[in-house]
């Protein structure tokens, strides 16, 4: 698979380390609320596991060490979009 | 119904009478209008084994197995056929030992030649730390009655002189062997269980994809399929690889990711490898099929996938692992490679459990160890479906174990499914 890095252009997926769904960005923040244990359980262990387009985190370990959000089909492996994870997070209102 | 008993005498008789007395191995059925006591979703090894043990052990014969494609078209025909019970943790080891015991008697039980070959399995050891870990595992195996054998480097070299004993990075220091491990003809397992189940009255319905579940007031009343709605008192899903997709139709999310795992076979060679050798440190394992091909595999492709095919980097990784430990493999040409989709769970261990929907049960999360588990998986799932109580060796395989902090993490890598 070739990942079209927004800054560096097309790179072999071998240069990257795969983490998983972008759901992993949204770590529960309020550990004091009564349902916090359940929130963390959902975050850490339960997966959407979609058959189709998913957004996922790839780390460019052997490149510029950036985190990317790759939109890729789990049925065909076709990549339809690549963006920097920091841009993706800022759009969602996070600091980084 | 076919009740033909296979035997050497039968083969001889048919040979002399023009092979006119053979019957279809199992009955290809259509759905019954008034439904079933139990519907098994998924006609792979585990689903067919479940149906067989439901009928045989529990007398529940009004059962249908629904298969989207043809039986055995999924992972039961895509794995590398290895059986073993060399696990460490108490949640796993007795289960896999039951499985190995069932394998040992499977041919007599099914009256079907599934070619169980207890040629042995050998895990290579490369460092003192790894030796300690494997000896601990060996002790766990001895406790469970699985048996094991510790081999010094000298013995490994005598048995398999072609191994690179002095590999610069992973010199072979010793090995942990399980002589009772081995290989099985994987397609025959699906056919044998299908025949056994069909003979006991189970309907095997192919080309019948489940498109939804009929759920009312939190209770499952049956399934919607490409052959119409089918009623059932109880539904057992058994579709490892597609678990996420199928259970989503019932609104259930799982602690599972789907990943693609590739396997490989070389052209046929003369007998060189009478054992299964695993090189865990280099992510490679190998055995030789009865046709002579070296059958080998390694790691996942590591990204989520429902495609039954992988990419070249994983191929290179596996082949370089093979070259490192077994350089002679470089002389063989690769004949075929293929991919299968596996349910990777959050701790590397499976699930056999009820769900939040009444009368809907789940079996999956087998990671890349599903084949060896086939008999025990069916045995224990049938026990759960028939009695509502988990079988005593499968009590740990619950869907809520992460919530309770009761993971069964053999490798100790945490909730990162592509590392298990």
Distance in angstroms (rounded) separating the CA atoms of residues B362 and B360: 7
Q: Does an H or E element contain B153, and which?
A: helix B153-159
Residue B305 and residue A56: Cβ atoms within 8 Å? no
Name the closest residue on chain B to residue A71, using Cα atoms: B304
Task: For residue A61, give how far its alpha carbon lies from the nearest alpha carbon of chain B (Å).
Answer: 15
pLDDT digits (tens, 9 = 90+) for B247-289: 999 999 999 999 999 999 999 999 999 999 999 999 999 999 9
Chain centroid to Cα B82, Å, comes to 9
Pairwise pLDDT comparison (B85 vs B3), residue with the higher score? B85
In this structure, the answer to whether residues B199 and B324 fall within a common structural domain is no
pLDDT digits (tens, 9 = 90+) for B366-411: 999 999 999 999 999 999 999 999 999 999 999 999 999 999 999 9
In this structure, the answer to whether residues B377 and B242 fall within a common structural domain is yes
Distance in angstroms (rounded) separating the CA atoms of residues B270 and B59: 46
Q: How confident is the model at residue A92 (pLDDT cuts 50, 70, 90)?
A: confident
- Where are the strands (E) in A1-96, listed by range? 2-5, 9-12, 17-21, 53-59, 67-73, 79-84
How many CB pairs below 8 A link A and B?
70
In this structure, the answer to whether residues B264 and B241 fall within a common structural domain is no
Q: How confident is the model at residue B17 (pLDDT cuts 50, 70, 90)?
A: very high
Contact A82, A70 (CB under 8 A): yes
Q: Which tokens is B30 given?
A: 């259509």
Sequence-ordered list of residues with C-beta below 8 angstroms from that of B169, at least 6 positions apart, any chain = B324
pLDDT at B168: 93
Q: What is the value of ipTM here, to two decimals? A: 0.94
Sequence-ordered list of residues with C-beta below 8 angstroms from that of B107, at least 6 positions apart, any chain = B113, B114, B116, B192
Q: Which of B345, B366, B388 is the last residue of a domain?
A: B345
In this structure, the answer to whether residues B269 and B143 fall within a common structural domain is yes
Q: Which of B345, B373, B406 is the last residue of a domain?
A: B345
Decide if pLDDT at B2 tops 60: no
pLDDT digits (tens, 9 = 90+) for A27-46: 999 999 999 999 999 999 99
Decide if pLDDT at B3 tops 90: no
pLDDT digits (tens, 9 = 90+) for B288-308: 999 999 999 999 999 999 999
pLDDT at B1: 47
Residue B322 lies inside a defined structural domain of this protein: yes
Residue B46 lies inside a defined structural domain of this protein: yes
- Rounded average pLDDT over B200-207: 98
Residue B122 lies inside a defined structural domain of this protein: yes
Task: For residue B60, give how far its alpha carbon lies from the nearest alpha carbon of chain A (Å).
Answer: 33
- Rounded average pLDDT over A35-63: 96
End-to-end CA distance of chain B: 43
pLDDT > 70: percent of chain B: 100
Best of A49, A53, A58, A59 to mutate (most B CBs within 10 Å, chain B): A49
Distance in angstroms (rounded) separating the CA atoms of residues B47 and B370: 12
Q: Which tokens is B151 given?
A: 């081999």
In this structure, the answer to whether residues B52 and B141 fall within a common structural domain is no
Residue A14 contacts B where some CB pair is shorter than 8 Å: yes
pLDDT at A94: 78
Closest by CA to B95, choosing from B410, B373, B352, is B373
Instruction: Report chain B's mean pLDDT, rounded to a whole number.
Output: 96
Residue B253 and residue A56: Cβ atoms within 8 Å? no
Residue B255 and residue A46: Cβ atoms within 8 Å? yes
Give the Cβ contact number of residue B11 at 10 Å.
12
In this structure, the answer to whether residues B278 and B330 fall within a common structural domain is yes
In chain A, the domains with their CATH numbers are 2-91 (3.30.2270.10)
In this structure, the answer to whether residues B261 and B240 fall within a common structural domain is no
End-to-end CA distance of chain A: 27
pLDDT at B76: 96
Tell me the CATH number at B168.
3.30.9.10
Q: Which of B312, B345, B378 is the last residue of a domain?
A: B345
Residue B227 lies inside a defined structural domain of this protein: yes
In this structure, the answer to whether residues B141 and B209 fall within a common structural domain is no
Residue B109 lies inside a defined structural domain of this protein: no
Name the closest residue on chain A to residue B404, using Cα atoms: A41
In this structure, the answer to whether residues B295 and B209 fall within a common structural domain is no
Residue B262 lies inside a defined structural domain of this protein: yes
pLDDT at B4: 84
Residue A44 and residue B402: Cβ atoms within 8 Å? yes
Q: Does an H or E element contain B317, and which?
A: helix B312-325
pLDDT at A95: 72
Distance in angstroms (rounded) separating the CA atoms of residues B106 and B101: 9
Range of the domain at B385: 8-19+27-82+186-255+347-419
In this structure, the answer to whether residues B269 and B241 fall within a common structural domain is no
In this structure, the answer to whether residues B270 and B337 fall within a common structural domain is yes
Contacts A75 to B, Cβ<8 Å:
306-307
Count up the domains in chain B and report the number.
Answer: 2
Tell me the CATH number at B404.
3.50.50.60
Contacts B416 to A, Cβ<8 Å:
20
Residue B194 lies inside a defined structural domain of this protein: yes
Residue B306 and residue A46: Cβ atoms within 8 Å? no
Give exposure, B71-109, as e/b (b: 16+ Cβ within 10 Å): bbbbbbbbbbbbbbbbbbbebbbbbbbbbbbbbbebbee
Contacts A72 to B, Cβ<8 Å:
303
Distance in angstroms (rounded) separating the CA atoms of residues B58 and B385: 10
Sequence-ordered list of residues with C-beta below 8 angstroms from that of A21, at least 6 positions apart, any chain = A47, A48, A54, A55, A56, A57, B304
Contacts A79 to B, Cβ<8 Å:
none
In this structure, the answer to whether residues B288 and B174 fall within a common structural domain is yes
Residue B87 lies inside a defined structural domain of this protein: no
Highest averaged pLDDT of the listed ranges B1-10, B333-342, B411-420? B333-342
């Amino acid at each position: 698979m070739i990942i079209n890095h927004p800054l560096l252009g097309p790179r072999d997926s071998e240069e990257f380390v795969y983490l998983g769904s972008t759901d992993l960005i949204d770590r529960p923040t309020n550990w004091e609320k009564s349902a916090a244990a359940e929130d963390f359980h959902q975050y850490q262990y339960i997966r959407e596991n979609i058959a189709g387009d998913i957004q996922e985190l790839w780390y460019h370990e052997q490149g510029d060490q950036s985190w990317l959000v790759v939109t890729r089909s789990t049925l065909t492996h076709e990549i339809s979009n690549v963006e920097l994870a920091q841009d993706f997070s800022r759009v969602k209102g996070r600091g980084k | 119904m076919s009740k033909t008993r296979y035997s050497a005498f039968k083969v001889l008789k048919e040979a002399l009478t023009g092979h006119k007395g053979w019957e279809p191995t199992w009955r290809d059925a259509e759905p019954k209008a008034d439904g079933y006591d139990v519907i098994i979703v998924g006609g792979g090894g585990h689903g067919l084994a479940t149906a067989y043990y439901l009928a045989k052990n529990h007398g529940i014969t009004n059962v249908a197995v629904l298969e989207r494609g043809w039986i055995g078209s999924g992972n039961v025909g895509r794995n590398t056929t290895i059986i073993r019970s060399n696990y460490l943790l108490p949640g796993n080891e007795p289960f896999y030992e039951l499985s190995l015991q069932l394998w040992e008697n499977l041919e007599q039980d099914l009256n079907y030649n599934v070619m169980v070959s207890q040629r042995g399995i050998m895990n290579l050891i490369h460092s003192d730390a790894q030796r300690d870990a494997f000896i601990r595992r060996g002790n766990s195996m001895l406790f469970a009655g699985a048996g094991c054998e510790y081999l010094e480097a000298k013995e490994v070299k005598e048995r398999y002189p072609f191994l690179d004993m002095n590999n610069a990075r992973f010199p072979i220091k010793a090995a942990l062997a399980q002589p009772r491990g081995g290989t099985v003809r994987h397609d025959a397992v699906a056919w044998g269980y299908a025949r056994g189940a069909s003979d006991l009255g189970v309907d095997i319905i192919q080309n019948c994809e489940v498109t939804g579940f009929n759920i009312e007031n939190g209770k499952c009343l049956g399934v919607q399929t490409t052959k119409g709605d089918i009623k059932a008192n109880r539904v057992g899903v058994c579709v490892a690889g597609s678990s996420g997709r199928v259970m989503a139709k019932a609104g259930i999310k799982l602690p599972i990711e789907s990943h693609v795992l590739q396997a490989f076979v070389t052209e046929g060679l003369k007998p060189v490898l009478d054992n299964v050798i695993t090189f865990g440190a280099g992510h490679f394992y190998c055995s030789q099929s009865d046709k002579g091909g070296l059958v080998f595999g390694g790691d996942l492709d590591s990204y989520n996938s429902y495609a039954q095919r992988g990419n070249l980097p994983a191929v290179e990784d596996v082949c370089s692992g093979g070259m490192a430990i077994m350089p002679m493999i470089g002389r063989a040409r690769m004949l075929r490679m293929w991919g299968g989709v596996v349910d990777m769970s959050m701790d590397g261990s499976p699930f056999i459990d009820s769900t939040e929907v009444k009368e809907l049960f789940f079996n999956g999360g087998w990671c890349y160890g599903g084949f060896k588990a086939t008999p025990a998986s069916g045995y224990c799932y049938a026990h759960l479906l028939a009695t509502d109580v988990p079988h005593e060796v499968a009590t740990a395989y619950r869907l809520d174990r992460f919530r309770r902090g009761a993971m069964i993490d053999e490798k100790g890598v945490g909730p990162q499914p592509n590392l298990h």
